[in-house]
């Protein structure tokens, strides 16, 4: 199996030009086309979140005003009424910006790229995250990013100004795949840190215990975040096309296994399908969007397909 793809050495800071690699002219041209076709879909998705019934996300308290006949009783401030016998109504200011957090898995397994794929899983995740950031910041929505492996590595809080796109892209470009996948601790820690409800986008191969990963996702849902999981796998991981005797190397632990692939191929594919189905079923039950992706599919096409599918649910 291939060694991890080369990236920016850990600890170095990518320049704006290096960061913009994920939005080079050809990519931006495709995204501009995507932006035209998907703008209404993206705006519909965001508007759907803004119409959330949960106060504190879609609206923030602004001030009191005297109660007027016809005002909904649910808007009365009952605490003020009990203390002062005054009938005051709470007024709210509607939020205009979505706050999105892009969580990118930087563990060793994300560096894998087979000969049939043009990008490693990490490069694919970075490109997809960059496209999402480009689209959302273009609509004045706040976007932040987190890189993680066994623990959080780099975090950029969400902002909506256009200049923030380069900050997000630099974050996405930093580091190279290394370390083991330990999703649960990272997800639980971030769920505690993010106080304001928003959108959480996880981009990972999910090579961890499903029960642990799903526990972390459930924590976000408990906090009333919208959650999207882009499950990114290489075509060779999905189809297991190997035929000759091979030595497989774990990119996270270095462990090696020499075997005849034809002896294990059928069982491997069966277990992989069951594993992905477990994620799909559990995410559906938790009302988490689960999006399985193959790195052979151009990321902008994959993003548009997801947005169009999402539009039918709004």
Distance CA 137, CA 160 (A): 6
Give a yes or no: residue 213 inside a domain: yes
| pLDDT at residue 61 in the model | 55
| 239, 115 contact by CB (below 8 A) | no
Q: What pLDDT, on the 0 to 100 scale, is given for residue 57? A: 38
> SS3 of 175, please?
coil
User: Would 5 be classed as within a structural domain?
Assistant: no
As for how many domains the chain has, the answer is: 2
User: What would the pLDDT profile of 206-235 be if each residue is shown by its tens digit?
Assistant: 999 999 999 999 999 999 898 999 999 999
Q: What is the pLDDT of residue 218?
A: 96
Residues 131 and 163 in one domain: yes
Is residue 74 located within the same domain as residue 214? Answer: no
Do 85 and 228 fall into the same domain?
no
| Same-domain check for residues 166 and 74 | no
Same domain, 144 and 229: yes
What are the pLDDT tens digits along the chain (314 aa)?
A: 443 333 333 344 566 555 556 666 666 665 555 554 444 444 555 455 444 333 333 445 556 778 776 667 777 888 888 888 888 877 654 444 678 999 999 999 999 999 999 899 999 999 899 888 888 888 788 999 999 998 899 999 999 888 998 899 989 988 899 888 889 999 999 999 888 888 999 999 999 999 999 999 999 999 989 899 999 999 999 999 988 888 888 888 888 889 888 899 999 999 999 999 999 999 999 999 999 999 999 887 888 778 777 766 55
Q: Which domain holds residue 67?
A: 59-94
Token pair listed for 85: 């016998």
3-class secondary-structure state, position 154: strand
- My answer on whether 147 and 283 are in the same domain is yes
244 & 134 share domain: yes
Pull the structure tokens for residue 74: 């649910």
Residues with Cβ within 8 Å of 13's Cβ and at least 6 positions away in sequence, in order, are 170, 174
Distance separating alpha carbons of residues 292 and 314, to the nearest angstrom? 20
Same domain, 177 and 250: yes
Residue 117: per-residue pLDDT: 92
Q: What stretches of the chain adopt beta strand conformation (E)?
A: 59-66, 88-94, 99-105, 142-148, 152-159, 199-204, 226-233, 246-249, 256-259, 289-294
In a domain, 9, yes or no: no
Rg of the chain over Cα atoms, rounded to whole angstroms, equals 22
Same structural domain, 87 and 222: no
> Do the Cβ atoms of 212 and 184 come closer than 8 Å?
yes
Tell me what pLDDT residue 280 has.
97
Same domain for 80 and 220, yes or no, is no
């Amino acid at each position: 199996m291939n060694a991890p793809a080369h990236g920016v050495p850990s600890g170095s800071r990518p320049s704006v030009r290096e960061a913009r690699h994920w939005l080079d002219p050809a990519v931006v041209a495709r995204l501009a086309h995507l932006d035209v076709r998907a703008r209404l879909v993206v705006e519909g998705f965001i508007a759907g979140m803004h119409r959330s019934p949960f106060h504190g996300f879609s609206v923030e308290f602004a001030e009191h005003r005297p109660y007027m006949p016809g005002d909904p009783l649910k808007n009365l401030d009952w605490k003020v009424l009990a203390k002062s016998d005054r009938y005051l109504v709470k007024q709210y200011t509607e939020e205009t910006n979505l706050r999105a957090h892009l969580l990118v898995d930087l563990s060793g397994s994300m560096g894998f790229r087979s000969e049939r794929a043009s990008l490693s899983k990490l490069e694919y995740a970075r490109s997809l995250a960059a496209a999402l950031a480009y689209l959302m910041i273009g609509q004045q929505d706040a976007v932040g990013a987190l890189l993680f492996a066994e623990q959080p590595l780099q975090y950029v809080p969400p902002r909506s100004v256009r200049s923030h796109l380069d900050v997000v892209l630099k974050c996405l470009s930093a580091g190279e795949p290394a370390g083991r996948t330990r999703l649960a601790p990272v997800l639980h820690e971030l769920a505690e840190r993010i106080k304001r409800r928003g959108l959480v986008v996880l981009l990972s191969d999910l090579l961890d215990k499903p029960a642990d990963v799903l526990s972390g996702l459930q924590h976000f849902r408990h906090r009333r975040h919208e959650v999207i999981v882009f499950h990114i796998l290489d075509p060779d991981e999905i189809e297991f096309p190997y035929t000759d005797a091979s030595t497989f190397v774990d990119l996270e632990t270095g462990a090696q296994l020499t075997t005849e692939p034809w002896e294990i191929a059928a069982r491997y594919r069966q277990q992989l399908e069951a594993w992905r189905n477990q994620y799909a079923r559990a995410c559906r039950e938790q009302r988490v969007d689960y999006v399985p992706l193959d790195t052979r599919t151009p990321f902008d096409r994959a993003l548009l397909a997801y947005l169009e599918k999402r539009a039918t649910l709004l």
